[in-house]
Chains A and B, each alone.
Chain A
Amino acid sequence: MTALVIRGGHLIDPAAGVDGPKDILLKDGRVAEIASPGKLKLQNGVNTDETATLDATGLTVAPGLIDMHVHLREPGQGYKETIATGTAAAAAGGFTAVAAMPNTIPVNDSPEITRWMQAPERGAAVRVFPIAAATRGSKGEALNDFAALKSAGAVAVTDDGHPILKDGVMRETLAAAARVGLSVIQHAEDTRMTQGACMNLGAVSFKLGLRGMPPEAESGLVERDIRLVTELRDARAHLHVAHTSTAAAIAAVRQARRNGLRVTCEVAPHHFLLSDEHVGMYNTQAKMNPPLRSAADRDAMIEAILDGVVDAIATDHAPHATHEKEVEFENAPNGITGLETALGLCLRWLHREWKLPLGRILSLLSAQPAALLNLKGRGTLAVGSFADVVVFDPKAEWTYHAVDTLSKARNTPFDGWTMQGKIRWTISEGRIAYKSS
């Protein structure tokens, strides 16, 4: 394999404590050497004639981003997205690894599907880490074989959009996952309280005449899950709350952490940027689950990111075909795309507007999700790590146009928004997976 040198860039690697000008040598899919500008030794048989060089002058070099919550729609719904198109969009957004949710058709509740998703034939542009279903068919009854799923490559278990409501089943899930060292991810929604609802419950839903999901449907289940973790008394148990959207759920996570529990959470860009007012006049591009919440909840997400309660930013990339969204609001499917807009929105808003240091943002988008999913050798560019790299211009402003997406889907509320931070190269295990034209 040929080697790749990235010269002249500014390396930010929060996990390794690096923030300064560095040259990097990537070789055989790994980080081979890091040195001050112009000081790479290029030893160990690196043939300089065969070594490509990327000029990163003025650019930021960082560990490739990791999105721990995406829907790639394969197997079963290739008309919405495929693993190839979804990961192409991921690469365009600076992501070198994505964790794929199991709500496929059929549900990914087996080692076979878990392996199928990672097979080279899928044509993935970046690494795909399947998250397997916790229960058979995600029906919330019988537990899957977590050890078998883990050895097939699953990095966590969840029933995602079909949250585990039964206390006994959730307790068993947490215990069994703890034994094999997998995290349990819960889409916290007490679906008994959200029947027929299609947006956040509040003054806006009343005005629009839409049935609303009460914030308690999220926070109540988070509190229940935390109680189960507490009762379990197993230090290995790890509960991760997916796409947290309410102030009350964040407060519960904050308290659990004070109590020393392994309870973590992620927040999606749309939940720290938009509120239910952004639904406007029934814009189905603003429909997702959990829904856009009140402005107070949105502000609580920003605060929670700034003060460190939030462990990861994850997009919940949920592609749908255009025609599926061009229907009555209550009948439209939930979800928006997010892979290509995450970094641009984080830099434009969290960094520029709310002054969160770049290193913290990169940590939320890479080192921390890598740690949550226990992805060894990722989320850092320490020597010996995987050569998963993103190179971007942190100052460049640009406008996102959904028509230009590499995803099959264009369902985004951020079409036409100004982004900050333009991806120049995304490198997946030493191979250039994306380069801007």
Chain B
Amino acid sequence: MTDTLDEVTVSLVVPVYSGEAYLEALVAAAESLREGWRAAGAPITLSEMVLVDDAAIDGSGDLIDALAARHAWIVPVHLSRNFGQHASTAAGILHSSGDWIVTLDEDLQHPPAKVPALLQHAVTRGLDVVYAQPAEGPHQAAWRDTSSRGFKRVMSWLTGNAHLRLFNSFRLIRGPIARAAASVSGHDTYFDIGLSWFTERVEAIEMALTDARFAETGKSGYTLKSLFNHALRMLFSSQIRFLSLGILLGIVLFFVSFSGGIFYLLRKLIAPETIAVEGWTSLFLLICFSAGLLAFMLGITLKYLSTLVLKAHGKPLFFTIDRSRDVQLAAWFSQTAEKAA
């Protein structure tokens, strides 16, 4: 039990799909962090580790129950079917109660020992979300890491979300913001986009991370199909940038055709002999005008529709947050660093 009056609490959330081979080690690493903070007399407690069984395809479900029976601080959550990583992350977050929540992959790609670094960065800089960025390509395969970066760049441009390039499933999130984002997430909401509806205080820090499963087996948790689905969810959770471009294009076409129309009308009135073939110009201008008007109206309609979709997705009007306790924790980190030095 932790007393919220004195201590800052941290919850770990781990979606599990095929983690049987890693869970014991992951729990041991979390326990080591928990005991380390306790031994150091830190004002932080790792209060719980939520293991979300996303209809795991191996023996993870039973193992989660066995681990929960051994450790009271492990919270087992079993989803009724496979809902995917984002849904299981949201489910885990909604079963947590920490001031801070850290989401991790099941396969030790995200070691719990790195959590203090994320937390220190967050409280020192007053952030709400801190992503871990691999200092080097996490997959240790150039093609895989390059394609991953390229994908994020394209999606960042398309959605106009500057933080998208930082997105990583190893993230530290301020608890109330994580729970609020999870509670408004629908089945098509991209969780990190949902987070950006509640905060702009988002940064990333680099750390050494390796995808142990990929390095060992050459298989990534992401297939081409799942990447495509990710891209779709990112787009549908965002207001797509080219909707605005469509409106702009419509306006430009409208004014070009309107100006051209005036020019050719004056030419017809003042110097009709300069027009070699009659009819084509006006037809072209009419098409241009109509296309511009249609593009503009379609752009407006889609923009309006996307606003409604975002409202349906749960984008809030406002959200309040209390960051006042960060100072106390930042001071503790600072004192600890001084002592270590």
Q: Is chain B a partner of chain A in the same complex?
A: no
